[in-house]
Every structure is written in C-alpha cells, then in structure tokens.
Structure 1
Amino acid sequence: MCGIAGYFGHVPDGANLLSRMAGAIVHRGPDGQGVSSWPNAGLAHRRLAIVDLANGQQPMSTEDGRFSISFNGEIFNHVELRRELEAKGRRFRTATDTEVILHLYEELGERSLSLLNGDFAFAVWDSVREQMFLARDRMGVRPLFYTRHRAAVYFASEVKALLQVPGLQATLDTVALDQIFTLWAPLAPRTAFKNIFELESATYAIVDRDGVRTSPYWRLEFPDHGDHSPTDATDELGDLLADAVRLRLRADVQVGCYLSGGLDSSLVAAIASEQGGQPLRTFALAFESSEHDERLFQQIVADRLGTRHVQTVIANGDVALDFPDVVRHTERPVIRSAPAPLFSLARTVRADGIKAVLTGEGADEIFAGYDIFKEAKVRRFCARQPASKKRPLLFRKLYPYLPNLNRQPAEYLSAFFSVGAEDLADPLFSHRPRFKSTAASKMFFSEDLRRTLGRYDAAEEMASLLPDDFRRWHPLHQAQYLETRFLLPGYILSSQGDRMAMAHGVEGRFPFLDHRLVEFAARLAPERKLRGLDEKHILRRVARDRLPEVIAERRKQPYRAPDSEAFVGRGTHGFVDAALRPETVKEFGVFDPAKVKRLHEKCAANPSSGFRDNSAFMGILSTQLWQQTFSEGSAARAATSAA
C-alpha cells in the first residue's frame, strides 16, 4: 500500500515514530520510501514508481527549505502545469508531479487546488507559518485520515498507520456502524474508528497550534430544474472522455485496463487502444457462478480491440479465502462481498507486472446508469395511480437478475415500493428503499447497542448534509447527488477501488471521474442521461462507433459477487465459525448471539438467501472480523507499550 503519513505537534522521538507509521502504510511493495522531519512536524510517504522512476519516492522541499511535501496519487495534468510554471521562471529539479504541486502551492497556496486534475492526498509543511496543509482530490479517490492524540495531530493514508501511535487504541464507532448498516458507508468525516476522522473529498485542512480547520474547495452542482442546454453534446462528450483517458495513460510504465464486459470499461478500453502505442493489456473477473459471470462479453471486447487479455476466475471459496484480508484493507465493516474478487484481480494485475489500470468506475453515477435511478423514476410514475396493480410489476423488469424479487407477488411489490404523496417531497426519495432494506439488518444489533444508539437516524443525518439548493434540482439530479457525493467515495472508491487495488501496489485510474467530465455530465438535461428507462443514453451514442453493438446497447449488469453462499456449506472456512460463535459474538457485544446463530443456520440451509439476510450476514461477519483485526490487536499493542 502506498500513501503518506505525518504529524504536527509535540511528538517524542518523532522520526522513529514516522518510520513505523510509514512502515504501516507500505506493508506491501518495494517501491521506496523516505522520511523528513522538522521541529514539531514530520512527513513520510511511499509512492508507486510510475512517473519519473528515479525521483519522487520521498518527501520533497523547496530550495529555500520553507515548504515540504508528502504526496500520494497522481496529477495527470502535471505536464501542462509545469510548462506554465516554467514560463513564470520556476526551475525544476525532477520530472515528477510532486514537484509541480510543491511549486504551485508555493505560488498560489490553497488556490492551487482548483488547477489540479488528478487523484491525490498530500500534505505541505510551511516551516515559516508552522502550519500543515492537507488536501484530498475532488471525488475522494485517495484516502486521508487524521486524529488528535495528546499534544499532536497525526495523519495518514491508512488508519493502520495511525494505530502505530503509542497509546492510540482502536475502538468501534457505533454511530458509524449504524451508518454502514443503513447507508452502506460511514458519513465522512466519521470512520469506523472512534475519534479517527477522514478528510472529506474536495476538502482541505489547515493544521496548526489552533487545531484542525477544514474547508471545501469544490462542490458537485446541478442546474435548477428545467435549466438545461438543448444542444447536442455527444461530440463534446467524446472529446472530453478521450482527453481524460489520454491524461491517465501518462506514465513511465505500461498502463493496463480493467474490462468488465459492460459499456463503461469497454469504452475506456476502446479509447485507450486508439491512443496507445502497444497492444493494451486488459484484466477481467470471471465467476464460476453463472449468475455473476460476464466472460462472454469481456471476450467479445478483447477480441474486437486485440488486447492481451487475462481473466481471473473466482470460485465461491476464493471469495471467502480473501475476505479477512479484505476487511483488514478496507478498515471497516462491509455489507457485501464485492470487494473480495477485486482484491484477487489486483493481485493478478501486479503479478503480471502492471502497476496502473484504467477502469470504468464513475460512469454509472454521473450518467445515471444504476437501477436505483430507474427505480426512482418508476416509483414516481406509480405514485400517479397508487391503486394500480400492474405498475409495480415494472420493478420485475428493472431487476431481472434478482430471482427472489421476481418471485414475489404483485401485492408484495406494491407494498414494498409504495409511494404516498408525502413521500415525493422526501429529499432521500430515490434511496429510501435501499436504506430501508439495509437497515432491516439492524434487527441483529444487541440490546446494549440499541440503547446506546437510542433514536439516532443515519438517513436523517445524511439529509441534514444536503446543500441548500438541493430541492431546486431535478429528481434525477437529486438521486445522482446522493450516489456521487456519499456512496461513490464512501463505499465504491474506498471499499472496492483504492483499497483493493493498492493492497497489491496497483493504482486505479478513473477517466470518468475527471472533474471536467463530472461537471459536464451534471449540466446535461436529465433525458440525455436517462431517456425513458434507457440509462446512459448519451454515453451509448459515443460508444456506437467504437464498440460492437451488443456491448454499446447492453443493459446495465451490476457488478455482484456471491455473498453468504461463499461462506457456508461445503468448504466452509474455520474463521467464519470462529467469528460467529455465540461466545465470540457475546464477547464483542455488538450483536445478539442467538439471532446471529439463527441467521448463520438459515444462510447455511439456504445459500440463495435474499438481500436482507445476505447484507446482514456480510455486515455481521465483517464487523466481527474488524473487531478481531483491530480491537484485539490494538489492546495487545497497548499492553506491550505499557510494559
């Protein structure tokens, strides 16, 4: 794992501490690390050697020594920024993007963030002001955590690094757990660790003797309802996406591409093939389970583009085998097994000698590709005739890949997706069914935890964080904001993106999350994205000349992996039984042992359990593993330190 670490304040033996912190961050990979320290401050980092392989592997300082930087990530437009700085008389010692940020910050301070096109987390120490400046990219691709402990503020790209600080113990934040069991992820700045915080996406922090002050520098915005440009924008979108891919192919090493077989990654691969000077190397997941497998479509694209294609075949047992490591790297409980196959895929990529991969992540959020957007549209449609028995049956067409849902009678569908007039004014309207289904898993919470949480409502806290102009936006744009602002950085990028790839020293690059593309998509009229129930309408038009018709017109197939069925039945792993043993469940005190036992038995008897049972099983198992990994280890470290 690559990343940054540092501290500000009174820290005894600071350099040795930073060495341990950096070691915690970089427990994998041979790419180099460095440590620099000053009075009251210290920086350390380790980066993948991707641009200017000989430099940038340690913190860097300006010639006068005033500013020093520790940086994780990539600035994709560093070449253009360097030219502008050189035109103003700046001199460079390296070809790294690290030095570009350093000089840009030296000149513009926090205003430099608006010029950066990239995925980043960095810290700049100003020795004159005795001030640490922390910043994170707009979309939240690269993580950054911080905590205040005794007389100092510590920060790092992984919580595991912060847990190296003597006396700092891992304690589960029960409010964050409630958020995970409702919203799928904690609401930043909260994390699964009590008193350890995440710097929010598109935010910077100033750390000095007065403490930590955070401020946003960018915000996802949509036009007011009805205020859209009527002009065709297909060509503009094609040009923007091509440029976003071009920038993300910049590297001194070969860049590969994930290929799911869906529209998004296939389009990125097609554009990368057009721009690359050598055959593209593509990597894909294949499942033994036919319900989850997409290898046929992957091969169609690979053959069309002539890529060197590698598939990683995932069996149910593979999902379970990797899951303890997945929890250790996500550093939080998760309610799906989906990160585990991606963990395995990244391992294959690194073994094949690739350090950076393009992916199609982000397209579903910004071009309305998820079923949840269509579902919300159908629910509003059904609200016009609430007594209709036929309109709820539209949900079966939305979810053909959910057999349990499609077996339900019309009365059940009508009740579950029912909408009243008062519901239409709910700012969380689009996501209420998801939150309702997930929150049902909280029935397994222990009585003690229920009392602790009281009347806390995670969804209402999310609603309180919405911007003032949210209600002026079109309903589709409201739904897109919820997905992009909260679920994308909080769940998709953190649990399935950066953490799974970087666990094996692989950097994910996301052309659809180029902020220019995000802002462009936000300005589009809703019908350009979701026309009827045709998702990503404008993106399909861009793809028509680049991809086979069967791919360009293929409906969205959500990425899923086997959940509870991968952990029960023949070949069950001992860690599952150990984690869910009633005595262990009772010891940690988070869940009701008797209810967990019944759930475990139910999933073992019926591996094709529904969404509620699956999410409950995965959430409980991952929480128990989180406790074993972090809470117990923290206690052991504290005992060692005390001795």
Structure 2
Amino acid sequence: MCGISGILNFNQQEVDKNLITNINNMLSHRGPDSGDVAIIGNVALGHRRLSIIDLSESANQPMVANDNFTIVFNGEIYNFQEIREKLIANNITFNTNSDTEVVLKSFIVYGTDAFKLYNGMFALAIYNHSSKELVIARDQFGIKPLYYFLNKDVLVFASEMKSILSYPGLEFTLNKQALVEYFWFENALGDNTFYNEINEIKPGTFVKVNADDFKVETYFDINQIKEIEITEEKAAEKIKELFEASVKRHLISDVPVGVFLSGGVDSSAITAFASKHYQGKLKTFSVAFDFDKGVNELNLAKEVAEKYNTDHHEIKITGADLVEVLEELVIAHDEPFGDAADIPLYLLTKKLKGTIKVVLQGDGGDEFFGGYSRYLTITNSKKYARFSFVSKLISFLGTKNPKLLRIQRFLNAIGQKEPFKRNALLLTMESKYSNPLQVLNRDFYKEVDQLDQFKRFKEVYDYYPKDMDPTQAVFYTDVQTILKDTYFEKVDKSTMANSMEVRVPFIDKELTEFALSIPARIKTKQGEQKYLLKKAMDQIVPDKILYGKKKGFGVPYAYWLTTSLKDYFIEQISTKEAGAYLDKNKIIEMFEIHKKHEGNYGFILWKTLIFAIWVNNKSKIMNN
C-alpha cells in the first residue's frame, strides 16, 4: 500500500522537481518506507511506499520498463502471480517479485484491457514516453482513492486531496452540493468532494490524458452483471468456496498480517479462514468502548479468538481519547466525514502503528449479502404501504413524540413513489429527523436549499433496467454509494494516516461478481438478513454469532457529545468561522433536547461537530 501523485503540464513546460517532491511528500504517512519521483519532461510521477510485497529496493517506485513506460501504483493485486505466470509463458521477463512490475508488464502487453484482469484494489498512473500518453486508473469498486484537479494549464492527481490542496497558485471553492449530501448522508457522494475544483476518478474507469485530450473510459460496469438462476444450496456452497479462496489470497504478504475482529459474522468468518491458511499464529484485534450498552461484541470476539487459537488483543477506547484525535481525523480526510466508526479504526491503528502493517477487515459483507434491515423493508414495501394512513393520523394529532415522528418518517420514506428517493431516505439515519439542513444559518440555508440531496441516487438508478428487482436495485445502489463513499473512505483514510494497509476480503473480483448475480430473494430469504451468507458459513462461524441478533459496530458518539465532548462541541460551533455557515442558537436548542434525553439528535449533532472542526481547520488543511 502506498501513495501516488502526479503532474502534467499542458503547456509542455518541464515539471519543477520541487513541486512534485512537495506534493508527493504530503503522502509520507501512506508510505514511510521510501519515496521518490520521476520527471519525464512535462510529466512527473511521485510515489511513497509502504513495503508489503517484495521488500527489496528493486521494487521501489516509480518503476520503469523497456525505457519507455513509467508506473506509480497504490494497492495490491492478489492474483498477480497467476498473471505473472501467463506473461512468463509469453517470454516476458521480470526483475522483481512485486505485483507492481506485473501490473506494468501486463499493461505493456494488454493495454487498458489489463485492468479487467486484476483481482485486487488499486489506483495507478502509467506514462508512455513515446506516445506521450498518461493513463490513470482505479479499481472496479473504488477501494483505493484517487483525486484530480484539471484546468487548461495543468493536471494534478494524488491519493489524497491534501497533495492537490498544497499545489501553489490553485484556488478552491466550497462545493455546496457535497455539503448538502454530507448533512443528509454523512459524506460527499459519487465523484464529488467538498471542493468544486477536485473530483475523484470514478471506480471501474481509466483516464487517457495527452496534450489535447482528457478522456474517461469504463472497463467495469456493474450493470453488465446478469442475474442467474441458482438454488440456494449451490449458491451457499459457491460463496463458501469463493470466500475461502479470497481470504487465502488476501493473506499474501511478505510482512505479518492480522485481523480486526469485532465478533460479528463477517469478521468471524474472515478469522476462521485466515487462521486456517495463515502461516504462523494469526493476530486478532478488538475494540472496546468506555460506554457499553451492548454495542460492542467483545465477549463474542474473545470466543472466536479462542476457537481459532489466535493471538488476541483488546484495545480500550475512552471519550478522553477523542478531542486530540478528532482534528487529526478531519485533516486525514481533508473534508468532513460523518461516519463515527472511523474513530475506533483510527485509534486502533494509531495504537498498533509500527507493530503490524497489514490487517483484514469485514467491510462489504453487508452490501453484497444483505446485512441491512432496509433490504427486508424494500422486499416487504407493499405490506408497509397498508399503514400509510398512520402517517396522516400522526400529522393530524400534531404530536411531538419522537418515536411517533420516527414512525411517520419511516412510512414517508417507504411510501415514496420514486425508488431512488425511497432507498436514499431508508439509507440515511436522518429519516429520524426533519431536514438536517436546519443546523445551517438562514442566509447560507437559502444558498443550498434548492440543491437536490437525491442527485447521486437518481444518477445510479437511471442506469438500471426498468424491470430490475427493487431489492436487487438496493444492493447495486449500496455498492455504488454507501460502500464506496462511506466505508472505503473510512477504511483507507483512517488507517493509512497511521501507515497501515487494511484489506477487505469480501471485495474480491470473483466473489463480488458472483454475489451480484444471485437473485435478491434468496440472499434475504425468510426475513433473515444475510440468510445465504449465514448458510454458507454454517459450521464455520459459531451459531451464537451466526444466528444471534445483529449488533453492528456501534460507536457511542451520542453519549460522548453530552459527556467528554460537551465543552469541545460548544467551542467548535461557536467560532466566527463556523458562524458563517451554522445557526448556533438552533444547534444549542437541539443539543439541550439531546442532553436531557427528550430526543435523540446525536447523529445530526455529530455531523455538525465534524463540519465545524473542518471549517475551523480549513486553512490548516489547505496549507498543511
């Protein structure tokens, strides 16, 4: 795992070495083991290395082949050995044992079709010296980030926005669409960022850039995966086979590998297969909170660790840890990011920094195998429609009862005629509340009120066949929204800030493409979340975990807001900078209601706090 960066001057002027060196060094936390740059006239490529496979200096980057191709690569290709063998059979020679060289040589042989071969996570740039064409690409689901700035003079790209933000002479303005998406869905969506001038390279695409053109092409389209007819028995058997193979692949490393073990189905399944195939005693790590009302699954994690004889470690997180790291986390993301689950992940990797480089984690199991209750809700939407009168009754009563209002908003969400709105409202926790933009001051609210928070969801749904199963559409949408925009963002930024590579075995090329082809009706059969995955993991994961009530990886942020973060919260929303956007009086009113337990405004207040921290540290982020 690494960090990459690059500059292309459209005026053909040679890139200043200081420029590429500076933006590359902004990524030193992603690659503390080595760093270097290559300048080829008007193009420069930078790389920071976290050594995982082939630890020798010969595998350092930028890497050159045939004196004509230069690559910078971030990620892991888990099937690189198979690709390497095919290339050797075609008389291609290798100087290293790295997956980077396999990527470069396969690109030389197959061109951009090589991207279709890779089973892994990656962001890369390859420059052809003779054709003077730069190709930038990202993995099919967007596990690894890649951002870019483009104007008539220059293209600047990097693994993190901080590199681009540090580039001298560029101006950046607030993306109000991203802000609206953040307050509704806890982060910017699609290729949006909080800066109008910075976008993401879209997953499953590559960009060809030369002096005259910037052309985006797609090599992977999720909508090309067709539903198959299969029995649940055969599907479960295939899932088990593919998942075990994926975990085995994800253990490929020249440094020790561990597992983040929460005690849930996904991480327990990873631990089971990892302990079977890992050479040596597997290390597992769990997080406990100072405030526990059943949200953590520490005891279950212990049972799994004992069952599979792992070297298990528990790390306690308290509210006292928070104040010092919240600013660090906001700077790590370069923009507001509202998922509080990145706090334990960040603190865990911070405490483990220097002791282990690679860890497996269970992200993706919910989105591909039906781990959320809303999949069942969509399946049973016609039943819920019968109760639409209840919503009208609650309005008639004029009640302020939080539970009744939550029921009303749930019925409003499920009753949406447009599927993309229904899915979006069921996805966001803000369905509990009224408009989350209520925390904005009157003047700024007027500037953003007409922006469409559902824009990204509509874009995704517009590509679906009209006869697509509604529940299957939710699976596809989650993979392209919440998984990429929230969970992969969390996994990458909060861990790479501490120089640790986190791998996600549920996001395996063969496994995911098979999972998306399975009819939704058998993934969540009999009203059971992850029905098919649980069937596949029977006899592998303990029954207590497999069939127990799903608890999730809860973070007690609502409690922290009223205790250890109380003064810090008030301080952050009270600054002049925050006041340019936020309505302090309204926020204090909501905070008091929350503090007295007269209503749960924890999520909206949390997002407000993170936004305020970003606003108050914007100059530090921009200037680094």
TM over 0.5: same fold? Answer: yes
**Counterpart residue type for residue 442 of structure 1:** L
Could you tell me whether the CA contact under 8 Å between 1:73 and 1:119 is conserved in 2? yes
Closer/same/farther in 2, CA of residues 343 and 472 from structure 1, 3 Å limit: same
Could you tell me whether the CA contact under 8 Å between 1:338 and 1:561 is conserved in 2? yes
Greater shift, 505-514 or 333-342, is seen at 333-342
Could you tell me whether the CA contact under 8 Å between 1:379 and 1:417 is conserved in 2? no
In the alignment, which residue of structure 2 is the partner of 1:514? 508
In the alignment, which residue of structure 1 is the partner of 2:581? 590
Instruction: Name the SS for the 1:135 alignment partner.
Output: strand
In the alignment, which residue of structure 2 is the partner of 1:621? 609
Q: Please, which of 305, 319, 322 is the counterpart of residue 322 of structure 2? A: 319
In the alignment, which residue of structure 1 is the partner of 2:304? 301
Q: 1: distance between equivalents of 2:543 and 2:369? A: 19
Q: 1: distance between equivalents of 2:415 and 2:241? A: 43
Q: Please, which of 594, 599, 606 is the counterpart of residue 596 of structure 2? A: 606
2:461 paired with 1:471: no
In the alignment, which residue of structure 2 is the partner of 1:402? none
Q: Please, which of 356, 368, 371 is the counterpart of residue 369 of structure 1? A: 371
In the alignment, which residue of structure 2 is the partner of 1:228? 229
The 5 Å alignment of 1:79-98 reads 79-98=81-100
What is the Cα deviation at residue 150 of structure 1? 5.8
In the alignment, which residue of structure 2 is the partner of 1:481? 476
Closer/same/farther in 2, CA of residues 310 and 415 from structure 1, 3 Å limit: same
The 5 Å alignment of 1:489-508 reads 489-494=484-489, 496-508=490-502
Q: 2: distance between equivalents of 1:380 and 1:356? A: 45
Q: Please, which of 572, 575, 581 is the counterpart of residue 579 of structure 1? A: 572
Closer/same/farther in 2, CA of residues 329 and 421 from structure 1, 3 Å limit: closer
Greater shift, 34-43 or 168-177, is seen at 168-177
Q: 2: distance between equivalents of 1:454 and 1:388? A: 28
Could you tell me whether the CA contact under 8 Å between 1:445 and 1:591 is conserved in 2? yes
Q: 2: distance between equivalents of 1:276 and 1:74? A: 18
Could you tell me whether the CA contact under 8 Å between 1:265 and 1:359 is conserved in 2? yes
Closer/same/farther in 2, CA of residues 617 and 50 from structure 1, 3 Å limit: same
Post-superposition CA distance 1:365-419 (Å, at most 9, x none): 0001112222333443221454589xx9xxxxxxxxxxxxxx966x545522226
**Counterpart residue type for residue 464 of structure 2:** D
Could you tell me whether the CA contact under 8 Å between 1:354 and 1:506 is conserved in 2? yes
Could you tell me whether the CA contact under 8 Å between 2:388 and 2:411 is conserved in 1? yes
Greater shift, 591-600 or 216-225, is seen at 216-225
Aligned length: 609
In the alignment, which residue of structure 1 is the partner of 2:397? none
The 5 Å alignment of 1:141-540 reads 141-149=143-151, 151-221=153-223, 228-230=229-231, 232-291=234-293, 292-351=295-354, 353-384=355-386, 386-387=388-389, 412=405, 414-418=407-411, 423-435=416-428, 437=431, 440-494=435-489, 496-540=490-534
Could you tell me whether the CA contact under 8 Å between 2:206 and 2:219 is conserved in 1? yes
Could you tell me whether the CA contact under 8 Å between 1:170 and 1:631 is conserved in 2? no
Instruction: Name the SS for the 1:167 alignment partner.
Output: coil
Greater shift, 614-623 or 113-122, is seen at 614-623
In the alignment, which residue of structure 2 is the partner of 1:397? none
**Counterpart residue type for residue 17 of structure 2:** A
| TM-score (norm: length of structure 2) | 0.92
Q: 2: distance between equivalents of 1:49 and 1:247? A: 18
Q: 2: distance between equivalents of 1:617 and 1:210? A: 47
Q: 2: distance between equivalents of 1:304 and 1:469? A: 44
Could you tell me whether the CA contact under 8 Å between 1:337 and 1:563 is conserved in 2? yes
What is the Cα deviation at residue 34 of structure 1? 1.2
Q: 2: distance between equivalents of 1:169 and 1:601? A: 39
What is the Cα deviation at residue 312 of structure 1? 1.3
Instruction: Name the SS for the 1:92 alignment partner.
Output: coil
In the alignment, which residue of structure 1 is the partner of 2:544? 550
**Counterpart residue type for residue 34 of structure 2:** G
Q: 2: distance between equivalents of 1:434 and 1:420? A: 10
Closer/same/farther in 2, CA of residues 489 and 24 from structure 1, 3 Å limit: same
Post-superposition CA distance 1:241-268 (Å, at most 9, x none): 1111111110111111110100011001
**Counterpart residue type for residue 537 of structure 1:** Y
Closer/same/farther in 2, CA of residues 95 and 305 from structure 1, 3 Å limit: same
Q: Please, which of 138, 155, 159 is the counterpart of residue 140 of structure 2? A: 138
Unaligned runs of 5+ in 2: 395-400
2:6 paired with 1:3: no
Closer/same/farther in 2, CA of residues 224 and 355 from structure 1, 3 Å limit: closer
What is the Cα deviation at residue 630 of structure 1? 2.7
Q: 2: distance between equivalents of 1:141 and 1:554? A: 30
Q: 2: distance between equivalents of 1:558 and 1:502? A: 23
Could you tell me whether the CA contact under 8 Å between 1:370 and 1:556 is conserved in 2? no
Closer/same/farther in 2, CA of residues 609 and 333 from structure 1, 3 Å limit: farther
Could you tell me whether the CA contact under 8 Å between 2:413 and 2:421 is conserved in 1? no
Greater shift, 283-292 or 314-323, is seen at 314-323
Q: 2: distance between equivalents of 1:184 and 1:514? A: 26
Q: 1: distance between equivalents of 2:363 and 2:15? A: 42
Post-superposition CA distance 1:168-223 (Å, at most 9, x none): 24432111111111233222221112201111111111122224222221122387
Could you tell me whether the CA contact under 8 Å between 1:565 and 1:608 is conserved in 2? no
Q: 2: distance between equivalents of 1:209 and 1:228? A: 48
Q: 2: distance between equivalents of 1:280 and 1:246? A: 13
Instruction: Name the SS for the 2:125 alignment partner.
Output: strand
